[in-house]
Structure 1
Amino acid sequence: MTTPEVLFVCVHNAGRSQMAAGLLQHHARGKVVVRSAGSAPADTVNPAVVAAMAELGIDLSREFPQPLTAEGVRSADVVITMGCGDACPVFPGKRYLDWKLDDPAGLPVEQVRPIRDEIDRRVRALLAELVSASRPCTKPSG
């Protein structure tokens, strides 16, 4: 049984995808390989995003936006896009989800929290699905 890999993609890899990756890593506790990238990466992670995540005990202060690569997409089992349009390469056999979410760029932490909480809800649902799909089927003993 292999560990599922998830790639979160947004334009700048400075907000939504960073929050999603941090939340999935936090909740999965090693059960999922998690990466994030941007089609046009920013220089730094959005400070309001770092602050909103710190409220949950998740430290993004050492994270840096990463560029989206074809190899990164190719190695993922699930690719979740968040407003990056057609910039993400499509490979057969990959599962793609597009999460429509507000962009936290330029917003104060008070307005980032609801975005973070919606991402958290979606991440928890995705994790439950991935973990149940990766469990081996067993026959009931009788």
Structure 2
Amino acid sequence: MMTRENHKPTVLFVCVHNAGRSQMAAGFLREIAGGDVVVHSGGTQPADQVNPVAVEAMAEVGIDISAQVPDQLSPYTVQESDVVVTMGCGDDCPFYPGKRYEDWQLDDPSGQGIETVRAIRDDIRSRVEELVGSLRPAQA
């Protein structure tokens, strides 16, 4: 049985199509936090594939998200997550009282060129780094 002392925080990234922003954020969190955080992502209207320009932008920084598949957002996953980060999906994203929510207003990389997606990627990276810092217990 898992106790509070060895509980790994669970973070869920949500965007409408689960094809760009949420996939990049999940990729960064997996890379930065390693196995210290459980990472999920989902969308309210998942696309058929991850945005190829987002895959290219992440590959430029050494993170491979090419095998990821957009996933349907599950109410169970929301309920089981310690932190839910929405990315501009507005009323399409469910809200559960008692959860820690963050809403990151990020441009949608869909249909954008690599220069724009790089800027979105870099913004996401800095936000994920801040998030990781807030999840780690204070050092004694």
Match of 2:88 among 61, 83, 91: 83
Match of 2:74 among 65, 69, 72: 69
Aligned partner of 1:22 in structure 2 is: 27
Displaced runs of 4+ in structure 1, greater than 6 A? none
- The AA in structure 1 aligned to 2:58 is M
What RMSD, in angstroms, separates the aligned Cα atoms of the two structures?
A: 1.1
Q: Deviations over 1:70-104 (max 9, x none)?
A: 00100100000001112222222211110000110
Aligned partner of 1:36 in structure 2 is: 41
Count how many residue pairs are aligned between Structure 1 and Structure 2.
Answer: 135
Q: Does residue 13 in structure 1 map to residue 52 in structure 2? A: no
> TM-score w.r.t. structure 1 length?
0.91
Report the CA distance between 1:132 and its aligned residue.
2.5
Report the CA distance between 1:111 and its aligned residue.
1.3
> TM-score w.r.t. structure 2 length?
0.92
Matching of residues 129-140 of structure 1 within 5 Å: 129-132=134-137
How high is the sequence identity, in percent, across the aligned residues? 59
Which of structures 1 and 2 has the bigger CA Rg?
A: 1
Aligned partner of 2:118 in structure 1 is: 113
Q: Which runs of 5+ in 2 are unaligned?
A: none
- The AA in structure 2 aligned to 1:100 is Q
Q: Secondary structure in 2 aligned to 1:30?
A: helix
Distance 1:95 1:72 in 2: 14
Distance 2:137 2:57 in 1: 29
Aligned partner of 2:61 in structure 1 is: 56
Distance 1:115 1:39 in 2: 21
Distance 2:81 2:41 in 1: 11
Q: Which moved more, 1:106-115 or 1:6-15?
A: 106-115
Q: Which runs of 5+ in 1 are unaligned?
A: none
Report the CA distance between 1:5 and its aligned residue.
0.3
Report the CA distance between 1:19 and its aligned residue.
0.3
Q: Secondary structure in 2 aligned to 1:34?
A: strand
- The AA in structure 1 aligned to 2:87 is M
